[in-house]
């Protein structure tokens, strides 16, 4: 683990990331020290920094630190955490602050391969996402809604839970983004009010567009999800998981889902 470029495991107790969740993070996979999906990861990290008015670290510096922490790992999970740093008490942003940058790595064996091959089972979560457009899309450090939603089930056969916002609109999974295939189009929830805009989501959208597919971001209802021809979930570590079962509805992995899996 590197903290501001130096080996370490401790940060200040007054760090605003710890006190207020004042920061953001990205999670990604690296192979032999090289991060996967980096153009999309970097794009999202830079956009999130701008939205939160956090200084964005240098890209070359980050890549160097990723290579350092993952040097001895063939396959690794990399976590990048950026906070506003230590500051005085109170919510006011410090006029002068030194951001905290944490880059860590852990060995990663991957998820069970049958999730991608055969598809996964999901459930609807009772915990709703608050509507807050200023934070929409940002992978900020306050993930309490996801933590509470994930605590709703303990059955290992259920791989993911789907979350709605306070208006009952489908937004995302607790750890994934959602896509539907309907009428030859690729549909995904519009993330302008809440939710996390993941790097894999952006990669899927770009890849589908390059294939000449129509991709639409829109507000989706639970009945629309259940009526879809294909449904899949994605994130940077899982890749693409076909949705096999959600409540009473069942699917087989579809042709477009398989094509995107092969490309990504």
- What whole-number distance in Å separates Cα of residue 134 and Cα of residue 250? 36
183 phi, psi to nearest 5 deg: 60, 35
Can you give the pLDDT at residue 94?
Answer: 87
Six token digits for residue 249: 């509805």
Can you give the pLDDT at residue 163?
Answer: 99
Q: Can you list the residues of the chain whose pLDDT is less than 70?
A: none
Q: Which domains does the chain have, with CATH numbers?
A: 2-107 (3.30.470.10), 114-263 (3.20.10.10)
Can you give the pLDDT at residue 88?
Answer: 81
Cβ atoms within 10 Å of 208's Cβ, excluding its own: 21
106 phi, psi to nearest 5 deg: -140, 145
Tokens 């903290």 sit at which residue?
Answer: 3
Give the 3-state secondary structure of residue 199.
Answer: helix
- What whole-number distance in Å separates Cα of residue 48 and Cα of residue 23? 9
pTM of the model: 0.95
Q: Burial of 245 by CB count in 10 Å (0-12 exposed, 13-18 middle, 19+ buried)?
A: middle
Given phi > 0 = left and psi -120 to 50 = alpha, else beta, which region is 72? alpha
At residue 74's C-alpha, the angle toward residues 39 and 241, to 5°, is 60
Can you give the pLDDT at residue 89?
Answer: 85
Can you give the pLDDT at residue 138?
Answer: 98
Can you give the pLDDT at residue 117?
Answer: 97
Residues with a catalytic annotation lie at 27, 139, 172
Can you give the pLDDT at residue 97?
Answer: 82
């Amino acid at each position: 683990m590197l903290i501001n470029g130096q080996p370490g495991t401790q940060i200040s107790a007054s760090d605003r990331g710890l006190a207020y969740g004042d920061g953001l993070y990205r999670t990604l996979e690296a192979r032999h020290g090289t991060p996967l999906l980096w153009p999309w990861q970097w794009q999202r990290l830079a956009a999130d920094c701008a939205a939160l008015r956090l200084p964005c670290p240098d890209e070359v510096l980050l890549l160097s630190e990723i290579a350092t922490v993952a040097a001895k790992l063939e396959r690794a999970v990399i976590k990048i955490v950026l906070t506003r740093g230590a500051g005085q008490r109170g919510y006011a942003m410090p006029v002068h602050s030194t951001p905290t940058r944490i880059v860590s790595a852990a060995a990663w064996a991957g998820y069970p391969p049958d999730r991608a091959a055969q598809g996964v089972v999901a459930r609807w979560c009772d915990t709703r996402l608050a509507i807050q457009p200023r934070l929409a899309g940002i992978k900020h450090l306050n993930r309490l809604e996801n933590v509470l939603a994930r605590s709703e089930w303990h059955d290992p056969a259920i791989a993911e839970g789907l979350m709605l916002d306070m208006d009952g609109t489908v937004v995302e999974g607790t750890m994934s983004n959602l896509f539907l295939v309907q009428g030859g189009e690729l549909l995904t929830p519009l993330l302008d009010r809440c939710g996390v805009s993941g790097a894999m989501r952006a990669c899927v959208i770009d890849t589908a567009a390059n294939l000449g597919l129509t991709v639409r971001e829109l507000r989706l209802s639970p009945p629309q999800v259940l009526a879809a021809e294909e449904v899949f979930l994605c994130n940077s570590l899982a890749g693409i998981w076909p949705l096999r079962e959600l409540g009473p509805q069942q699917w087989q992995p579809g042709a477009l889902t398989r094509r995107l899996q092969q490309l990504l």
